[in-house]
Structure 1
Amino acid sequence: MKSVKLKEVRLHHINVSLIAPFTTSFGTMENKDVCLVEVVDETGRSGWGETATSNEPYYNEETTETAAYMLKDFFIPRLLHREIGHPSEVHGMLEFVRRNNIAKAAIETAIWDAFAKKNGKSIAELIGGTKKEIESGKSIGIQESPEALVRKVDQYVKEGFRKIKVKIKPGADIDYIRAVRKAFPDIPLMADANSAYTLEDIGHLKQLDDFNLLMIEQPLAHDDIIDHATLQKQIETPVCLDESIHSYEDARKAIELGSCRIINIKIGRVGGLQESKRIHDLCMEKGIDVWCGGMLETGVGRAHNIQMTTLPNFTIPGDTAPSSHYWKEDIVTPEIEMEDGLIQVPDGVGIGYEIDPEKLAKVTQSVEMIRSTKSRHPIPE
């Protein structure tokens, strides 16, 4: 394999508007700031990643602004002009900084893209992925009423999505799920609570056992694995962990404690593709199903999700929906499309999609070019 050496990194600060507002227990998002990371190697070849952040620190502690700061002041100086034999090395090279996983993943995935392109392979080939198509699920934000939610579900079932995920919170949960299940007795259905409940709600959450759900995702605190183990022992619905899992070690401990039966792997949340693959392999060994969650990514992040989901233990349809479901115009070409609930894995090298420069220009606020390893802070060798 040919190594890569980064001669320059470009941070593309963009703002993209959602087709429709997206509401969770955290709040409502209508537009999103994103920092696209373009690494340029010594041959002029580009690799792309993105910060899968929100505008505010509600999902986790990172925002797009803080991720850009960490990239400029810590991660890019550590990686510029260094010989990188394989992108699997990058995760370890960035461990000198605690957490800040989304910022780490943004540049790590860009390096995977550049390395794969240089070696004439897709990322899926490099990580051992085998699937030629992946199943797509649809995530639905909190609606104004059960009836409104049923209408949304009906629309997406007719479009062919293989799984429906419904966001819930106290006051918008049992009646909403009941209405969906009554209208659609057999569809693969799950609930996502985004940490909206506590152990005091066990009796309430037990009612979900009546609806044959695939899972309830992250019902309790964002950093918890102890209380989730207590909850899982008392409900039949499988618990899926999301926000609690930041690393292989988190996944290992959660599995040993019996905190969940399913894990949602998000590349940004765990710090990149290398750690995602380690968690995938651990879960496959332990008999824990995994799936790929979404962070309202542009086509760059979605492309990385597609490549990762080719791994064999991604047995549940993920949140990687077509571009047209979130953006008026995506920044990749071709746009990500779905047919009969399936997204074809592209044949191209790297992420398999190209950046459309004209579409990128429309949403770009500014571009920073970084060529120097100088930093205001001491960077370990």
Structure 2
Amino acid sequence: MTIPIKQIKLRKVEMKLLDPFTTSFGTFQERDFFIVEAIDGEGNIGYGESVAFHSPWYAEETVKTNEHVIEDFLIPLLRDNTINHPDDVYEIFKPIRRHNMAKAAVEGAIWDLYAKRKNISLAEALGGERKQIDVGISLGIEPTVEALLANVKKYVEKGYKRIKIKIKPGFDVDVLREVRKHFPDTQIMADANSAYTLDDIEHLQQLDDLNLTMVEQPLAHDDIVDHADLQAAMKTPICLDESIHSLEDTKKAIKLGSCKIINIKIGRVGGLSESKRIHDYCKEHGIDVWCGGMLEAGVGRAHNIAITTLSNFTLPGDTAESSRYWEKDIIDPAVEVENGVITVPDKPGIGYDIDHEALEKFTVNVKTFDL
């Protein structure tokens, strides 16, 4: 049975984060992105969200490159091909190298449309099993250790299952040691966003004394070789993030022993289908996975919730409640966390209604493409 897509709408959205977010590669508060709408002409609309940033900090993609690739390459490919299942989209887009975040935004809308046409939840369409998921929270670099401790305390008291702390040279071991002293029983991990090299190996080995759940992407964003050397020298599990763009990357990293954990971000790996394949391969090879966040609004957050229902997402992800980031989200109800747990919606598709009034308020431009 084909998925009859009649139109694609590319909606440019601009929202402001409640608080500035700082990592080793920069600070930002404005978030612009695209909502992709896949429309079947029968009253069903599937929604996807792009996750690229305004600047090429995290990856080479940006909001502008997403627009260019979706409009000039991906939509024409959809016109020229028949889609029987959302898994087909990955193969249809294969002639376009990389640009995974652009691909994932379009593929996500088609997955949502498919689930709505089948009258099942996106989680069920993906083969998810969980009715509830544990979530952690990602905290940016603060001006002082005291400010960070106050932030950690706030979210521990809210019941979040894991605290992720961004680190960089000069804001790392001593800071984490202080956090551990104040929160001896809290599940804590560090995220370096590629801020170190193997020259820092002895410095990073000090983290082994802090009982961290993992250290995420300490070395270069495109590396899996040096990470293998670092993992061999450390007891703390290394988690790869930026290095993993595909199932093939995953296979190589596991073969080399570059990590014990992999962070799956839907946008980074090119969509839900590839996320599922990476999940399945990691499960077969005893590698835990979890779902990372990209400061998503409600649509992207809903996709993260759906993929996290798969059985090998054994560690809390970064899908915090909407109110952590936005004064007003674009879904209804907003994502809510209770004692570190999100109840997975069971309505068809992403499980949340679109708040059309809010979406229109934040929309700055819409392009419509007939297929």
TM-score (norm. length: structure 2): 0.99
Contact kept in structure 2, 1:10 and 1:37, CA below 8 Å: yes
1:44 is displaced (CA, Å) by 3.6
Show the counterpart of 2:140.
141
1:65 is displaced (CA, Å) by 1.1
For each residue in 1:318-372, what CA deviation from the matched residue of structure 2 results, as whole angstroms up to 9, or x when unmatched? 0000000000100001100011110000010111011111001111111111115
Distance 1:12 1:300 in 2: 13
Sequence identity percentage: 57
1:159 aligns with 2:158: yes
Show the counterpart of 2:291.
292
**3-state DSSP of counterpart to 1:68:** helix
Contact kept in structure 2, 1:20 and 1:326, CA below 8 Å: yes
Q: Partner letter of residue 317 of structure 1?
A: P
Show the counterpart of 1:328.
327
1:45 is displaced (CA, Å) by 1.4
Distance 1:44 1:12 in 2: 18
Show the counterpart of 2:18.
19
Distance 2:201 2:307 in 1: 34
Show the counterpart of 1:378.
none
1:8 aligns with 2:21: no
Contact kept in structure 2, 1:37 and 1:49, CA below 8 Å: yes
1:83 is displaced (CA, Å) by 3.1
Within-5 A mapping of 1:106-185 = 106-185=105-184
1:61 aligns with 2:60: yes
Show the counterpart of 1:278.
277
Within-5 A mapping of 1:1-381 = 2-80=1-79, 82-371=81-370
Distance 2:234 2:200 in 1: 12
Show the counterpart of 1:375.
none
1:144 is displaced (CA, Å) by 1.0
Distance 2:219 2:234 in 1: 13
**3-state DSSP of counterpart to 1:177:** helix
Distance 1:73 1:44 in 2: 26
**3-state DSSP of counterpart to 1:213:** coil
Distance 1:336 1:145 in 2: 30
Q: Partner letter of residue 88 of structure 1?
A: D
Distance 2:82 2:204 in 1: 52
**3-state DSSP of counterpart to 2:6:** strand
Contact kept in structure 1, 2:81 and 2:92, CA below 8 Å: no
Q: Which runs of 5+ in 1 are unaligned?
A: 373-381
Distance 1:80 1:137 in 2: 40
Provide the aligned C-alpha RMSD in A.
0.9
Q: Which runs of 5+ in 2 are unaligned?
A: none
